[in-house]
């Protein structure tokens, strides 16, 4: 029994004895009452003192200004650890920094878009099965959380087309969060990040595009890389390509181990026309690819789900 319990038992015993006052002769009642009250008060004081002591030793007063790392006695749930930037955001900055060094401007994407920007402005024929290939989510109002950053192409072209009349080029990258109604596993997420690139000028060529992409990947992985392309299909580019890099040895790759990093191609004349740009005067190329995959390769990560999981053990590794 701890001290407080013992004192409470003593108090009970005193109270029980106090009841006997009724059986005493009148002349003894006053003296007995005084004694028993004194005893009771002494015990009550002892209990109060013991309780105060136990509070002092068991519970630290909470200093709300203290960082929990300084005060080890503070329970875990008072933790006020400093937050940090999400690794994907750090890498997105790295990505846009590289493009900015190459002369590109950055325009932000959005997290809710519409049928026109998702499909029509990108030359997807109405009712065409290619529209189903993007596993789009839809809100009850018929809006679309973008399934790729290409939804921004039309906006970029319209916003910057006056540059072309001034004899300049349109050179813009658009990082953004994208959403697909997919089954989630180690390599597929319903929510991930992409970065889109759009370039338009009087005389640009596919060779310029491949040069820009090679430069980007070599800067991002800080080494020379072997690249390769293969035919692809996107309604908004003609011709369309898939762009691959050989997985570097330093990142666990073997010779001939090529990874598809993004889709790209020469912007389809209809896409330029819809934005009010004359495709007989100007040419453009565009590309778009996942950021998550880029980052996973850089750090040797194998589960894309960690990025959206809020798993602190994972996030603390960065």
> Quick one: which segment of 74-82, 83-91, 283-291, 304-312 binds ligand DAH (CB under 6 A)?
283-291
Give yes or no for residue 196 binding ligand DAH (CB under 6 A): yes
* From candidates 271, 288, 293, 294, binder to ligand DAH by CB under 6 A: 288
Judge contact between 198 and 170, C-beta under 8 A. yes
* From candidates 109, 121, 136, 150, binder to ligand DAH by CB under 6 A: 150
Give yes or no for residue 192 binding ligand DAH (CB under 6 A): no
Minimum gap (Å) between residue 70 Cβ and ligand DAH: 47
Minimum gap (Å) between residue 314 Cβ and ligand DAH: 25
Instruction: Specify the residue, 220 or 243, whose C-beta has the smaller distance to ligand DAH.
Output: 243
* From candidates 237, 247, 284, 294, binder to ligand DAH by CB under 6 A: 237
Q: For ligand DAH, how many residues bind (rule: CB under 6 A)?
A: 12
Give yes or no for residue 99 binding ligand DAH (CB under 6 A): no
Instruction: Specify the residue, 118 or 297, whose C-beta has the smaller distance to ligand DAH.
Output: 118
Judge contact between 209 and 191, C-beta under 8 A. no
* From candidates 148, 154, 180, 247, binder to ligand DAH by CB under 6 A: 148
> Quick one: which segment of 53-61, 90-98, 164-172, 259-267 binds ligand DAH (CB under 6 A)?
259-267
SS (H, E, C) the chain: CCHHHHHHHHHHHHHHHHHHHHHCCHHHHHHHHHHHHHHHHHHHHHHHHHHHHHHHHHCCCCCCCCCCCCCCCCCHHHCCCCCCCCHHHHHHHHHHHHHHHCCCEECCCCCCECHHHHCHHHCCCCCCHHHHHHCCCCCCCCCECCCCHHHHHHHHHHHHCHHHHCCCCEEEEEEEEEECCCCCECCECCEEEEEEEEEEECCCCHHHHHHHHHHHHHHHCCCCCCEEEEECCCCCEEEEEEEEEECCHHHCCCCCCEEEEEEEEEECHHHHHHCCCCCCCCEEEEEEEEHHHHHHHHHCCCCCCHHHHCCHHHHCCC
Give yes or no for residue 264 binding ligand DAH (CB under 6 A): yes
Give yes or no for residue 146 binding ligand DAH (CB under 6 A): no
* From candidates 234, 243, 282, 307, binder to ligand DAH by CB under 6 A: 234
Q: Which residues, including other chains, have CB under 8 Å from residue 132's CB and lie 6 or more apart?
A: none
> What angle separates helix 87-101 from helix 206-220, to the nearest 10 degrees?
130
* From candidates 157, 287, 294, 296, binder to ligand DAH by CB under 6 A: 287
Instruction: Specify the residue, 119 or 234, whose C-beta has the smaller distance to ligand DAH.
Output: 234
Minimum gap (Å) between residue 318 Cβ and ligand DAH: 26
Q: Which residues on neighbouring strands pair with residue 179, listed in sequence order?
A: 191
Minimum gap (Å) between residue 290 Cβ and ligand DAH: 8
> Quick one: which segment of 68-76, 138-146, 157-165, 280-288 binds ligand DAH (CB under 6 A)?
280-288
Instruction: Specify the residue, 160 or 234, whose C-beta has the smaller distance to ligand DAH.
Output: 234
* From candidates 157, 212, 245, 286, binder to ligand DAH by CB under 6 A: 286
CA 243 to chain centre: 26
Interacting residues toward ligand DAH by CB under 6 A: 148, 150, 196, 234, 236-237, 263-265, 286-288
């Amino acid at each position: 029994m701890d001290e407080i319990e013992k004192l409470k038992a003593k108090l009970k015993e005193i109270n029980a004895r106090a009841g006997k006052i009724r059986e005493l002769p009148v002349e003894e009642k006053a003296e007995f009452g005084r004694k028993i009250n004194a005893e009771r008060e002494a015990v009550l004081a002892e209990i109060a003192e013991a309780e105060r002591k136990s509070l002092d030793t068991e519970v630290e007063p909470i200093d709300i200004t203290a960082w929990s790392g300084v005060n080890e006695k503070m329970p875990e749930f008072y933790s006020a650890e400093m937050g940090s930037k999400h690794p994907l955001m750090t890498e997105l900055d790295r990505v846009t920094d590289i493009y900015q060094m190459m002369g590109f401007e950055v325009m932000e994407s959005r997290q809710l878009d519409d049928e026109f920007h998702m499909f029509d402005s990108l030359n997807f024929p109405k009712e065409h099965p290619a529209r189903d290939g993007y596993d789009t989510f839809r809100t009850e109002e018929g809006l679309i959380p973008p399934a790729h950053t290409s939804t921004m192409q039309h906006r970029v072209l319209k916003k910057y087309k006056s540059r072309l009349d001034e004899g300049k080029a349109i050179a813009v990258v658009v990082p953004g969060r994208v959403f697909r109604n997919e089954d989630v596993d180690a390599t597929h997420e319903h929510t991930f990040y992409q970065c889109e690139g759009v370039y338009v000028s009087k005389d640009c060529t596919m060779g310029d595009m491949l040069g820009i992409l090679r430069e980007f990947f070599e800067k991002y992985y800080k080494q020379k890389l072997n690249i390769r392309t293969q035919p692809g299909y996107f309604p908004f580019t003609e011709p369309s390509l898939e762009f691959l890099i050989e997985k570097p040895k330093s990142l666990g790759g073997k010779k001939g181990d090529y990874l598809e990093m993004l889709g790209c191609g020469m912007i389809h004349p209809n896409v330029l026309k819809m934005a009010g740009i004359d495709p007989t005067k100007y040419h453009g190329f565009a590309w778009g690819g996942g950021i998550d995959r880029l980052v996973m390769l850089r750090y040797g990560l194998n589960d894309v789900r960690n990025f959206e999981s809020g798993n602190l053990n994972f996030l603390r590794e960065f």
